[in-house]
Amino acid sequence: MTPAARTQAAIELLDAIIASARDGGPAADTLIARYFAQRRYAGSKDRRAVRTHVYDAIRSLGERPASGRAAMLALAKDRPEIAETFDGSAHGPAPIDAKEPAALPGVAPAWLMDALQRSGLDRAQLIALLDRAPLDIRVNTLMGSRDDALAMFEGAEPIGGTVAGLRLPADTPVERSPAFEGGLIEVQDGGSQIVTTVAQVAPGMTAIDLCAGAGGKTLSLAALMGNDGRIVATDTDRARLQRLQPRADRAGVMIVETRLLDPGEEAEALADLKGAADVVLIDAPCSGTGTWRRNPEARWRLTSPRLERLVATQARLLDLGATLTKPGGSITYIVCSLLDAEGRGQVDAFLARHPGWVAEAPVVGSPHGAGARLTPASDGTDGFFVARLRAA
């Protein structure tokens, strides 16, 4: 592909990503994969270059742009080599008209910037939300040690604050490595590993991972429990939950059972586990403002009504967690968002609704309200809020 054709491809992809963000369609990565699956003539260098254009544009624009062309015009303003590709050639974009509007640079939509600033993030922390995420893995201590894995990956470095985390050079082909195929490692952000330790699970416990998804944190819990005890992993998303068991098998995890929940009828499906859990982990569905490093277009998707629905679901899941916890047991509440409505405020509201419960300050990240927070700027991880709650 010529440089102009690469710019045109980025414009087309950005049009699809903008529409998908507006209409609740697939993620940018999925759309990029589909686009190139239909264009086999594009080589790996073309694909990489187009992808870089697309993500550079997404990262640089806070508000959802009007079109892919407006987004690429914004990039072209500071990058003469991109401006030159608007050359009207056969497969390239039409020349730039001086009066054409370009999208405006920014970190996030104005309403979200306000909400994040009110949640205590300063400008440097806001900008760091859009850094490029590093490649982190968790060593499965059921299969081997961190030193075993260190020896298998050139340039690997332990992640501070984790017991089994390693940071790898970008582009390390992790999923094709023998360590991955043999279950010694999983791809997992260092922050995810750190917040899971707040649950303080131990061998022999009964844990409920209420929003287990495909099991990233479930497998962490199982390793921390030494594969001894019981973990009930639940979710309302069948496709995600179905991915958990094969991952558990690969990781040698024997103590997990999965249970699919119907939205709104979670309590009925868990009636037999009332008061049974030493630990309930609630890795709640959230706006994902802490994971923009990986999904920067997510900030074009979020709306205020969607955030309100998420906050209501989180409150309902916390109340359900309280019924599942045994006397003296605890809830660990996690969101990969830095909005107080989903974190600090959510926990304050829980404590007000449940006078018998107290918050125990987690010893990770920085204290934030009754919990703690990790941020890309301060911790070099995705952004998280985590709190540990116990029936007094």
**Whether the Cβ atoms of residue 337 and residue 302 lie closer than 8 Å to each other:** no
**Whether the Cβ atoms of residue 282 and residue 321 lie closer than 8 Å to each other:** yes
Q: Least CB distance from residue 187 to ligand SAM, whole Å?
A: 11
The smaller minimum CB distance to ligand SAM, of residues 125 and 218, is found at: 218
Kindly state whether residue 259 participates in binding ligand SAM, applying the rule CB under 6 A: no
Kindly state whether residue 217 participates in binding ligand SAM, applying the rule CB under 6 A: yes
Kindly state whether residue 224 participates in binding ligand SAM, applying the rule CB under 6 A: no
Kindly state whether residue 315 participates in binding ligand SAM, applying the rule CB under 6 A: no
Is beta strand 165-168 parallel, antiparallel or unpaired with respect to 157-158?
antiparallel
Residue 202 is classified by DSSP as -
Say whether 23 counts as a known binding-site residue: no
Say whether 46 counts as a known binding-site residue: no
d(CA 64, CA 72): 13
Amino acid identity at 89: S
In the list 236, 245, 295, 323, the residue contacting ligand SAM (rule: CB under 6 A) is: 236
The smaller minimum CB distance to ligand SAM, of residues 45 and 243, is found at: 243
Q: Please indicate whether residue 211 is annotated as part of the active site.
A: no
Q: Least CB distance from residue 70 to ligand SAM, whole Å?
A: 32
Q: Least CB distance from residue 323 to ligand SAM, whole Å?
A: 14
Kindly state whether residue 294 participates in binding ligand SAM, applying the rule CB under 6 A: no
d(CA 149, CA 166): 8
* Phi/psi-derived region of residue 206, left when phi > 0, alpha when psi is between -120 and 50, beta in every other case: beta
d(CA 86, CA 4): 6
In the list 31, 212, 302, 389, the residue contacting ligand SAM (rule: CB under 6 A) is: 212
Kindly state whether residue 266 participates in binding ligand SAM, applying the rule CB under 6 A: yes
Say whether 15 counts as a known binding-site residue: no
**Whether the Cβ atoms of residue 179 and residue 152 lie closer than 8 Å to each other:** yes
Amino acid identity at 145: S
Kindly state whether residue 263 participates in binding ligand SAM, applying the rule CB under 6 A: yes
**Whether the Cβ atoms of residue 14 and residue 57 lie closer than 8 Å to each other:** yes
Residues that bind ligand SAM (CB under 6 A): 210-214, 216-217, 234-237, 240, 261, 263, 266, 283, 285, 313, 317
Active site residues: 336
